[in-house]
Amino acid sequence: MPPSLHWTAGVHHDGSALFVSNPTPALGETVTISLRVVGKTPIRGVFLRSCPDGEPWMIEMQPSLIQENTVWYKADLAVTMPVNPYRFKLITPEGAYYFTALGISRADAPDSGDFKLLADYPAPSWIKGAVFYEIFPDRFHNGDPSNDVRDGEWEVRGAKTKHRPWGEMPLHYREGRTLDFYGGDLQGITRKIDYLHDLGVNALYLTPIFNARTNHRYDIMDFFEVDPHLGGSEALIELRAGLDRVNMKLILDVTLNHTGWFHPWFQAAQASKDSSYYEFFTFNNHPNDYVSWLGHASLPKWNYRSQKLRDQLYRAEDSVLRYWLRSPFRIDGWRLDVANMQGKQGAVQLGHEIGREIRAAIKGHSPDAYLLGEHFHDGTPHLQGDELDASMNYQGFTFPVRRFLAGKDLGADWNANWADTHPLPAEFAAKQISRFMGAVPWVIAQQQFNLLGSHDTTRIMTVLDGDRALTRLAVVLLMTFPGVPCIYYGDEIGMTGGNDPFNRACMIWEPEKWDRDLYDLHRKLAALRKSAPALREGGFQVLYAEGSLLVYQRQSREQQLVVIGWRGGHNPLGARIPLWPGDIADGSVLHDLISGDSFTVKDGVINLLELSHGMGLILEVTHP
């Protein structure tokens, strides 16, 4: 028998074009909102609730299409505000059910959980088809050995720079002090554009490239100069030209939360209270007691009470953020490091004010730029349409996927005493995913930056203890999830590495050392990601989630895909997968785009004769 599901499993709405006639409407427009109900239900009436200007409106939705097993309800919604929240109320003999972006329940929900439709939202036109690749420049490829950092070239707190042979393991901080360099540079990235293009990548995210003292370069000394050891500004111009040749986008990384202690602005402020830069920082006791990032003296925090600082960093025409958007560099967006921390110092909480100003500055200059923020926790307050385009989706994708597949949270990465090392059942992984997706407008969810790992986390192959099957499943989930997928350099060939700095090892360029099957899967799914309408712009619905089995669908007007992931061991008994909640009728044929296998729906389910460990299927639906 198939798993028993409550009738509410067949109630669905999301912000995609299948359910909202125009997902990106103009202010003053009227859109049609649709609700789909599959299966036999006790529903006696459906109402659309909205609150324009705080005034509650209940509009009775009318059945617009009645099929054998499905009813579509529709109603018009006037787009009268920049953010237009709405929800559904379903009347049944047993009482009312409330359906919001956080789910369906007899219990009512806070307004913060409503579906949200943004008006006049300038979504980057290129982002839906993007497949990103993150590069830590010093460790990707050495294109010009003449600009390498030399042994002892400079000294920081008694530690000297070390030039390391390519391929040797990064030094632990206690030994290397982030002063171990391998010679990767922008020329090296330019030389590998064809490799990236062949992989299917069409957008790059580079960690900081500006002049700094450490290998990670978050201690920026000059925001207007590309580090000479990475090739300088001329190398960035050359990289831009190379990327243009294959229509590849580029975003750069910058920290607007802090700078490096060698930055001349900070050194001037530290030297004298009379410096015009003194107001850029917060000194508790001048000159050596000042507010810094996580207490690291090398990273003094900016003081955003200074209007002049805001002008220098992003508001003025010649500000840092605008400078690199202009020709000849023409970058396509920014990744803001620790975006959740900027503008926050105790009683002074300017984060949202700064976020809105940054957005206005960037979009006013380059409306199509992508504004991405780092946030390891709940970034949804900054993702409501007036600040960031997206966040690095750790909580809404990375962490629930890692916990589902490996039973390891961020604390496990850090060997912390608060680590969770118990596998997360699929139903709870789905709940976390749905909560964070539902907390933002759908147009934002489509732009979220999804990743399996980064320069700040243990590599996915290491998280999964070298389990190739589960790693392949992780890639299937990454490439089929709503939002924008990003590959961390080397993950596509099976590189391993623990937490920083061991996740920042040199890229392996000897093909005989690659996991070719994993590389081929990345390449195949990157192509699918860019071409499949359901993955580019389709909605999202969890069809079934329990234990080791996760099933969801992506559906657009042109295409319907079902994704099945099994994290458990080999199961010769197989499973019966309920698909009826996704309006997939009996007789429908589902074709696996990875293996070529086909399955036919009967009695609302498909029958998988056996489940192999780490199985990942991407099934395209053909209706009878």
Q: Is 175 exposed, middle or buried (0-12, 13-18, 19+ CB in 10 A)?
A: exposed
Quote the CA–CA distance of 332 and 44 in Å, as a whole number. 50
- Chain centre to alpha carbon of residue 218: 21
Q: Count other C-beta atoms under 10 Å from residue 389's C-beta.
A: 27
Quote the CA–CA distance of 246 and 201 in Å, as a whole number. 10
- Chain centre to alpha carbon of residue 586: 35
Identify the active-site residue in 253, 332, 337, 537. 337
Written as six digits, the tokens of 418 are 């608060």
State the Cα torsion 189-190-195-200 to the nearest 10°.
90
Instruction: Tell me the sheet residues that pair with 555.
Output: 539, 560
Quote the CA–CA distance of 5 and 41 in Å, as a whole number. 12
Identify the active-site residue in 219, 227, 332, 374. 374
State the Cα torsion 308-313-319-321 to the nearest 10°.
-160
* Distances from the Cα of 350 to the Cα of 278, 302, 339, 345, angstroms: 19, 12, 12, 8
Whether the CB-CB separation of 483 and 540 falls below 8 Å is answered with no
Number of H helices, E strands in the chain: 16, 36
- Chain centre to alpha carbon of residue 32: 29
Quote the CA–CA distance of 446 and 346 in Å, as a whole number. 33
Whether the CB-CB separation of 343 and 353 falls below 8 Å is answered with yes
Helix (H) / strand (E) element for 175: namely helix 173-176
Instruction: Tell me the sheet residues that pair with 578.
Output: 605
Q: What is the CA radius of gyration of the chain?
A: 25
Our answer to whether residue 374 is catalytic in this structure is yes
Quote the CA–CA distance of 379 and 541 in Å, as a whole number. 22
| Amino acid at the residue 307 | Q
Query: Which residue in the block uniquely carries the two structure tokens 């040749």?
Result: 245
Taking Cα atoms as reference points, which of 454, 470, 488 lies closest to residue 404? 470
> Helix or strand or coil: residue 345?
strand
Q: What is the DSSP track for 493-506?
A: GT----STTGGGPP
Our answer to whether residue 337 is catalytic in this structure is yes
3-state secondary structure 548-608: CEEEEEEECCCCEEEEEEECCCCECCCEEEECHHHCCCCCCEEEECCCCCEEECECCEEEE
3-state secondary structure 363-378: HHHCCCCEEEECCCCC
Catalytic residues: 337, 374
